[in-house]
Amino acid sequence: METSAIDQARVNEFAFETTYLNTSSCGLLPRRAVEAVKALADECAAGIRGGAGSFESVDSARAGFARIAGVAPARVAVGGSVAAHVGLVAASLPAGAEVLAPTREFSSVVSPFAVRGDLKMRYVPLTELADAVRPGTALVAFSAVQSADGRVADLDAIRTAAAAHGARTLLDASQSAGWLPLDAGPYDYTVTGGFKFLLCPRGTSFLTVTEDAQKTVPALYAGWVAAEDRWNSTYGPVEELAVDARRFDEPVAFLAYHGAEQSLDLLDGVGVDAVYAHATGLAARFREGLASLGHEAVPGTSAIVAVPGLGGREPDLAEAGVMVSARAGNLRAAFHLYNTEADVDRALDVLSG
pLDDT band for position 2 (cuts 50, 70, 90): low
CB-based contacts of 237, cutoff 8 Å, min separation 6:
none
- Look at residue 104 and tell me whether its pLDDT is greater than 60: yes
67 and 17, same structural domain?
A: no
Identify whether residues 79 and 98 lie together within a single domain.
Answer: yes
The rounded percent of the chain whose pLDDT value lies above 70 is 99
In a domain, 37, yes or no: no
Residue 42 inside a domain? The answer is no
Mean pLDDT of 255-281: 98
My answer on whether 264 and 339 are in the same domain is no
Query: What CATH number has the domain bearing residue 342?
Result: 3.90.1150.10
Same domain, 154 and 279: no
Q: Is residue 39 a part of any domain in this protein?
A: no
Any domain includes 36: no
210 shares its domain with 284: no
- Which tens digit of pLDDT belongs to each residue from 185-209? 999 999 999 999 999 999 999 999 9
- The verdict on residue 71 lying in a domain is yes
The mean per-residue pLDDT over the stretch 164-186 comes to 98
| 202 and 83 together in one domain | yes
What pLDDT, on the 0 to 100 scale, is given for residue 51? 77
Cβ–Cβ under 8 Å, residues 69 and 208? yes
Domain boundary (240, 269, 298) is at 269
Are both 124 and 255 inside the same structural domain? yes
Please name which of 69, 89, 305, 260 lies closest in space to residue 173, comparing C-alpha atoms: 69
Does residue 197 sit in the same domain as residue 287?
Answer: no
First-to-final CA distance of the chain: 37
* C-alpha dihedral sign at 338, 342, 348, 351: negative
Indicate if the pLDDT at residue 1 is higher than 60: no
pLDDT at position 285:
98
- Is 128 contained in some domain? yes
Same domain assignment for residues 218 and 300: no
Query: Does some domain include residue 50?
Result: no
Q: Does residue 41 lie in a domain region?
A: no
Q: Residue 353 burial (CB < 10 Å; 0-12/13-18/19+)?
A: exposed
Q: Are residues 291 and 265 in the same domain?
A: no
pLDDT of residue 213: 97
Q: How many domains does the chain have?
A: 2
Looking up residue 132, the CATH number of its domain turns out to be 3.40.640.10
Are residues 216 and 133 both part of a single domain?
Answer: yes
Rounded to whole angstroms, the Cα distance separating 48 from 333 reads 43
Domain boundary among 232, 251, 269: 269
Residue ranges making up the domain that contains 14: 5-30+271-352
- Average pLDDT of every residue of the chain: 97
Q: Identify the domain boundary among 269, 285, 317.
A: 269
**pLDDT exceeds cutoff 80 at 263:** yes
Q: Do 249 and 276 fall into the same domain? A: no
Q: Could you tell me the pLDDT band of residue 353, with boundaries at 50, 70 and 90?
A: confident
The SS3 assignment for 195 reads: coil
What is the rounded average pLDDT of the residues 154-167? 98
Tell me how far apart the alpha carbons of residues 306 and 325 are, in angstroms, rounded to a whole number: 9
CB atoms under 10 Å from CB of 291, counted, come to: 11
Nearest to 339 by CA among 144, 152, 179, 146: 179
From its phi and psi, is residue 302 left (phi > 0), alpha (psi between -120 and 50) or beta?
Answer: beta
